[in-house]
Amino acid sequence: MSKLGIIGGSGLYNIEGLSNEKWIKVKTPWGEPSDQILEAKFAKQSFCFMPRHGRGHLISPSNINFRANIDALKQRGVTDIISVSAVGSLKEELEPGKFVIIDQFIDRTFARKKTFFDNEIVAHVSMAHPTSKSLMDACESSIKKLKIPFQRGGTYVAMEGPQFSSLAESQLYRSWKADVIGMTNMPEAKLAREAEIRYASISMVTDYDCWHPDHENVDVQQVIKVLLENASKAKDMIKDIIENYTKYVDDKDPATKCLDIAIITDPKKRTKKTIKKLATIAGRVLKK
């Protein structure tokens, strides 16, 4: 049984037209999630929503407890995550207002916990293809239906933040042929893979970072203006995806059983304490 989880940032905290709305507090062995989880229905489909920065945007990117967020969503039965976030553009043709369906990441973050397997039990999951093709198909279908300008496929550079890039950094990332830059999709995507949750990322372009000669300074007010314009489109997109995504679910996706070949630690060395901590994330394989 599949269940969709949405992780959203600024501008997405209130989605109209939902029913059976209930905010649920979830405890995790990794600490407190960003917020309670909204469980609701749209078009008879149940889903979960996690406010990435907390309602009111209280949590800086570096301080998001990504492990707790993913664990909490999996506790609530989430099998598929669609992440929606604001980004800066690194390419002329990706103008503010355009959506990008991400298929690759470059992780430049350095101050975050990036794995569930950091103590006693070691696992190495593949991140060669970090996003789910089937979820990308679902996103593309909804975006096309709503006539939102978009690009399918793109590389997301995840920077630490909370400061925006220097000009030298922005030019470096452009030389790598990356498409967009943001602060929140890593280690989110890595942890979703470790949790065997299918993952897709939709980036909403708000600015040209600082490389563009006509847009040299990234201004928060300018970003918020475009963000709010994007938000109404994103909400419509999310509702359409919730209604239709089950048509695209692929149980053979590489994420679904990736832990079968990822855990390297000798079973005799695994303590009950660590197995219990990983129960939500890896209970399927650790119970064997």
Q: Supply the residues annotated as catalytic.
A: 207, 209
Q: Name the residue among 252, 191, 204, 161 with its Cα closest to residue 5.
A: 191
Q: Is 184 left (phi over 0), alpha (psi -120 to 50) or beta?
A: alpha
Q: Please, is 137 exposed, middle or buried when counting C-beta atoms within 10 Å of its C-beta (0-12, 13-18, 19+)?
A: middle
Three-class SS state of 113: coil
For 110-179, strand residue ranges (E) read 150-152, 155-158
Q: Give the position of tokens 């506790």.
A: 75
For 93-217, strand residue ranges (E) read 99-102, 104-107, 150-152, 155-158, 180-182, 198-207
Q: Name the residue among 284, 276, 286, 283 with its Cα closest to residue 29.
A: 276
Q: What does the block give as tokens for 10?
A: 């600024």
**Cα–Cα distance measured from residue 182 to residue 204, given in angstroms and rounded to the nearest whole number:** 10
